[in-house]
């Protein structure tokens, strides 16, 4: 008998108690509070209710407030029109099990069945599969962590205790105002038809919200769905990672010093003569590498004279530091290339040794989309050079990219350094007219200066 009791104790501890404590206290693998100065989220559990939920939706619509509803599956099936209205009016809909039963008293298979049945019901009514899950009472078991890859678990950061009538509307309002700050996720209820709740309690919740919502809006707060708050939180974390602390500043400073030393050591020339802020630098050297077919039937061979291309990593760092997203960084890179390529062509083609230059060649992890500028992309042969180049460029990417080192684990198969090559013939064909314009502009500027 004692062994059975001990077994039950261990089972309850590891299956239910510890996962619940870890998730609630430390936020492990759950979302419970956002990072935002002004955005807050209202979340409602246990509904929909045929009386209280429509009144609540009326109030939210009046103030153009968006919220998140964690619905009980059997309640949703009984009130499909209300669920459809939630979706139609722009609210987010998550899962609160099919019936309001604790995950501590259900097997993993039973929890999965509850989630699946509720998900299917919501999808039938709205046409969208729900992405968020809140277990009843916020109680998680060990296997809820494993299901996180399929659905994000959402808890809360503020709980006014609105499920009992005795709490009263004024006390609910006061508690919500006391905890009012950016990133807050409020746990509220639009249905009292569950174990431990009072059927008429949502009346107090709605009455409290009638005063709380205008007061929060007047203070400059905005009400957003949980998924929107999560996006704002991700952006805030990304920005925080980009902000250079003392150690990061030291590392970046040392790296930029090395970049300048590298430019001096190898005598790199700016694509725009005299401009140290040019996006592209280069040097003329001999090519040592594999044979590369170039457009137009030409071939680049070891020993050929080339323009070895180098991006301005200091400028890249500035782009990455200021960019708010990966897309914005990509747009900045494309525009920088568009501005600089004609200048590079003018600088190269006006050299006395230009006729002997076979191609413009570079090695970069930023190689997607360079075909639009005439470059051919070539895989680097496996070996020490490719490995060392990849290590260096990954370190560089972790510094310049807006998402920092997190980006290295995201689609890492695409973060591979490759050689890009542009034949001199293609350089002239694409940028010959631009070279003439650049040269004419230089002559005009010189004449103006002499005058």
* Neighbour-count burial for 68-91, b at 16+ CB within 10 Å, e otherwise: bbbbbbbbbbebeebbebbbeeeb
Which two tokens mark 186? Answer: 């409020």
Residues 235 and 248 in one domain: no
Question: What distance in Å separates the CA atoms of residue 412 and residue 18, rounded to the nearest whole number?
Answer: 34
| Residue that finishes a domain, picked among 220, 239, 258 | 239
Instruction: List the CATH number of the domain containing 185.
Output: 3.20.20.370
In terms of average pLDDT, the best of 58-62, 306-310, 381-385 is 58-62
What phi, psi does 358 have (nearest 5°)? -85, -35
Helix (H/G/I), strand (E/B), else coil: 382? coil
Is residue 42 within 8 Å of 92, Cβ to Cβ? no
> If pLDDT is split at 50, 70 and 90, which confidence band does 366 have?
low
Residues 227 and 336 in one domain: no
Count how many domains the chain has.
2
Residue-wise pLDDT tens digits, 84-103: 999 999 999 999 999 887 76
Q: Does the pLDDT value for residue 320 go beyond 90?
A: no
Residues 388 and 334 in one domain: yes
| Residue that finishes a domain, picked among 210, 239, 268 | 239
Residues 71 and 116 in one domain: yes
Cis peptide before 48 (omega within 30 of 0): yes
pTM of the model: 0.54
Residues 82 and 32 in one domain: yes
Q: What is the rounded average pLDDT of the residues 399-412?
A: 46
Residues 113 and 135 in one domain: yes
Residue-wise pLDDT tens digits, 144-203: 555 544 688 899 999 999 999 999 999 999 999 999 999 999 999 999 988 889 999 999
> If pLDDT is split at 50, 70 and 90, which confidence band does 380 have?
confident
Residues 224 and 263 in one domain: no
Residues 355 and 208 in one domain: no
Residues 248 and 235 in one domain: no
Is residue 160 within 8 Å of 176, Cβ to Cβ? yes
Q: Does the pLDDT value for residue 24 go beyond 70?
A: no
Residues spanned by the domain of 215: 2-239
The predicted pLDDT at position 329 comes to 72
Residues 170 and 315 in one domain: no
Residues 302 and 335 in one domain: yes
CA angle 24, 28, 32 (to 5 degrees): 55
Residues 47 and 32 in one domain: yes
CB neighbour class for 141 (10 Å; exposed up to 12, middle 13-18, buried from 19): buried
| Residue that finishes a domain, picked among 239, 256, 288 | 239
CA angle 339, 342, 347 (to 5 degrees): 120
Catalytic residues: 45, 189
Which residue is listed with tokens 């009326």? Answer: 58
Helix (H/G/I), strand (E/B), else coil: 108? helix
């Amino acid at each position: 008998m004692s062994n059975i009791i001990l077994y039950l104790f261990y089972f309850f501890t590891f299956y239910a108690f510890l996962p619940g404590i870890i998730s609630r206290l430390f936020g492990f693998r759950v979302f419970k509070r956002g990072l935002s100065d002004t955005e807050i989220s209202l979340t409602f559990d246990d509904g929909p209710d045929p009386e209280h939920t429509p009144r609540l939706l009326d109030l939210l619509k009046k103030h153009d407030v968006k919220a998140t509803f964690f619905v009980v599956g059997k309640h949703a099936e009984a009130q499909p029109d209300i669920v459809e209205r939630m979706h139609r009016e722009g609210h987010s809909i998550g899962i609160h099990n099919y019936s309001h039963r604790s995950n501590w008293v259900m097997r993993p298979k039973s929890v999965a069945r509850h989630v699946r049945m509720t998900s299917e019901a919501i999808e039938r009514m709205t046409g969208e599969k729900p992405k968020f899950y809140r277990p009843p009472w916020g109680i998680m078991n060990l296997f809820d962590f494993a299901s996180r890859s399929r659905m994000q678990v959402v808890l809360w950061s503020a709980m006014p205790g609105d499920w009992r009538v005795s709490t009263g509307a004024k006390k609910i309002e006061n508690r919500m105002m006391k905890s009012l700050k950016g990133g807050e996720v409020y746990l509220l209820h639009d249905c009292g038809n569950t174990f431990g709740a009072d059927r008429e309690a949502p009346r107090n919740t709605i009455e409290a919200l009638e005063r709380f919502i205008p007061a929060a809006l007047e203070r400059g707060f905005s009400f957003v769905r949980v998924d929107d708050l999560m996006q704002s939180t991700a952006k805030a974390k990304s920005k925080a990672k980009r902000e250079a602390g003392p150690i990061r500043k030291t590392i970046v400073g040392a790296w930029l010093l090395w970049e300048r030393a590298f430019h001096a050591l190898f005598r790199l020339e700016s694509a725009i003569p005299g401009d140290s802020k040019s996006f592209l630098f280069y040097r003329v050297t001999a090519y040592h590498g594999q044979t590369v077919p170039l457009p137009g039937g030409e071939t680049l061979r070891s020993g050929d004279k080339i323009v070895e291309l180098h991006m301005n990593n200091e400028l890249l760092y500035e782009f990455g530091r200021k960019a708010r997203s990966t897309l914005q960084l990509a747009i900045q890179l494309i525009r920088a290339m568009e501005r600089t390529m004609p200048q590079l062509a003018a600088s190269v083609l006006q050299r006395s040794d230009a006729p002997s230059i076979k191609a413009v060649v570079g090695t970069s992890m930023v190689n997607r989309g360079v075909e639009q500028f005439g470059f051919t992309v070539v895989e680097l042969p496996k070996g020490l050079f490719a490995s060392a180049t990849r290590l260096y460029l990954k370190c560089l990417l972790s510094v310049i990219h807006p998402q920092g080192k997190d980006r290295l684990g995201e689609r890492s198969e695409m973060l591979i350094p490759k050689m890009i090559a542009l034949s001199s013939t293609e350089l002239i064909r694409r940028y010959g007219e631009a070279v003439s314009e650049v040269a004419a502009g230089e002559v005009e500027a010189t004449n103006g200066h002499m005058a």
